[in-house]
Amino acid sequence: MATESLEDLQIVDFSRVLAGPLATMVLADLGAHVTKIERPGVGDETRGWGPPYDAAGMSTYFQSVNRNKQSIALDLHDEVDLELARELILDADVLVENFRPGLMESVGLGYDALRSARPGLVYCSITGFGAETANAAALPGYDLLVQALGGLMSITGDPEGEPHKVGVALVDVICGLFASVGILAALRHRERAGEGQRVEVNLLSSLLAALVNQGSAYTLAGETAGRMGNAHPSIAPYELLHTAEGELVLAVGNDRQFRALTVALDCAELADDKRFSTNSARVANRLQLRSELESRLRRTSAAQWALELSAVRVPAGEVNDIAGAFALAEALGLEPIVAAPAANGRLSRLTRNPIRMSATPPSYRSAAPEMPRGRDGPT
C-alpha cells in the first residue's frame, strides 16, 4: 500500500465554512490527521447550508471540504472544553483558525500564548482583510463581499449589465490554497530550523494576488480594467461566439492557431489582413473580428465546429453544464469522482483531489464526519 506524504502530521482545525476547511482537507487528502473543532449543537455553519442535501440529510456544501477528518464539539468558553482544546494543540504540528481577529487570543489560544509551550507549532490564521488595523479586523470576511471590494466583480459580467460574482466562492478557494502552501512552507522551515511560525493569509490579499494580469495592468501600467463579458483584455479571439446552433468558445492564443482557424472557416485571407494579422491588431479590432468570424460560424452548429476546430488544434469547445464537465473528465480518463466511506456505511461520491503523485498519492479514507458528540470523543 502506498504511503502518504503527510501521514505523520497532526492538525487541529478550528476553521469553518470554506477557506480554512479546504486548506485542511487538501492536507488531509495527502495523509495528515485532521481533528476538526466544532461548536456544540451547531457545528460548522455549512452543515446547515442547503439544499441540496444527500440521502442521509447532510449538506453537500459541508461535505465538499471536510472529508478525511474527525470531528469533536468543544465550547471554547467552557473551562473543561478549553483545556481539552489546549491539549490537542500541544500534541499537534499545525493549528488552523479563521475566527475574527482577537478571538483566539481572548480564550488563551493565540499564537503568542502557545509558542512557548509548543515551539514547533505552525499556527495558520485566515482572515477576511488582515488584522493589522482595527478597521481591517472588524470587516466581515464573506466571499461575496470580498469579490465586490476586491475588484473581481468589476471585471466580471456583461459590460452593459451589472457586476457579477463568480459562480462559486472562488476567493475562499484561492485563499485556502494559499494557506495550504504557506503551511507546507512553514513545516519545511521547521525541518531545517526546528521552530514553528505564524502563517497569516487573508481573503482580500489572496484575491489581489489572483488578479494576475489584471492586477499587473494596474500596478505596472496604471490601467484599470472593466467588464468585458466573455472577452479577454489581451487576447483575441478569446471569447464566446454564436453559431447556427449554440455558442462556441474560442481560445486562440497565437498566430498559428488563428491561421488554422481562418483556414477551417474558409476565410484564410483574414490571417493576412493587417487588422487581424497579429494578436495586438486583433485585440485592437476585436469587434470587427467577431463580426467576421460569426458570419462564418453561422454555417453550422457549435458542436460541429468544436469537432472540426479541435481536429486542427484550434482550442474550441461548447459550454458544458456541471454534469457535462464531469462527463468530459470521465471520457478523458481523469476519473473525477472518488468514493469515501461514510459513517452510515454508505460510500460518498466526492470530487477527486486534482494532485497526482506517483509515490504518495492522495487518499480518501473517510467522508465528512457526522455532527460531533462533544468532549466524550471525536466522530
- Which active-site residues does the annotation give? 172
CB 66 within 8 A of CB 368: yes
CB 16 within 8 A of CB 38: yes
Q: d(Cα 364, Cα 367) in Å, to the nearest integer?
A: 8
The 122-127 sheet, strands edge to edge: 69-73, 33-38, 10-13, 94-97, 122-127, 197-202
Could you tell me where the DSSP H helices lie in the chain? 19-29, 60-63, 79-90, 103-106, 111-114, 134-138, 143-149, 170-193, 203-210, 212-221, 255-264, 279-284, 286-297, 302-311, 322-331
Q: d(Cα 55, Cα 165) in Å, to the nearest integer?
A: 30
Residue 371 burial (C-beta neighbours within 10 Å; 0-12, 13-18, 19+):
middle
Cell match 485585440: residue? Answer: 283
Q: d(Cα 157, Cα 134) in Å, to the nearest integer?
A: 33
Residue 317: what residue type? G
CB 77 within 8 A of CB 40: no
CB 351 within 8 A of CB 336: yes
